[in-house]
Amino acid sequence: MTTETGIPGSDGDADLEQRIDAIESGYEFLLAYAAQGRNTDRGAAPDRSVRTYLGRMEAGLDGLADAAGAAADARDAALRKDATAFFGALASDAAVARAAIRLILAQDDISSQLVDNLNASIHLRALLTDVFILDEALKRKRGA
């Protein structure tokens, strides 16, 4: 992930910000998709496809905890050590959410009901809460 995000700091900041953006924008799309009452995802434009958003989320989750740890290290050497348990939970939550997304992507048809169930999953909700906490904590360490 190499696009510029405008966030001051290291390249690790840009990488983490892109991951967070993929997860958050994907979740917002999933909420809208779930409300559509679709039986299938077939026929959607590629840039508005639930598979595209799920794929971005899945890619963002792969290595999320490492990217978060690197961003924490860049701000404060003690931060990662002080929050070891949090980073472990982030890794676990990301792995479970990623597995659920991969299961959905393996389906021939992705219905609104299936996406609604993913949205309601405690695993995805835990991950989103982790990301919100992480983002806010790193902003505070960065002085934003």
The answer as to whether 50 is a domain residue is yes
The answer as to whether 3 is a domain residue is no
pLDDT at 11 (0 to 100): 66
* CATH, residue 102: 1.20.120
pLDDT band at residue 13, thresholds of 50, 70 and 90?
confident
The answer as to whether 4 is a domain residue is no
Full domain range(s) for residue 66: 11-142
Query: Is residue 77 exposed (0-12), middle (13-18) or buried (19+ Cβ within 10 Å)?
Result: exposed
pLDDT digits 0-9 by tens, 61-93: 999 999 999 999 888 888 888 899 999 999 999
Percentage of residues of the chain with pLDDT beyond 90: 70
* CB-based contact 27:119 (threshold 8 Å): yes
Average pLDDT, stretch 27-52?
Answer: 90
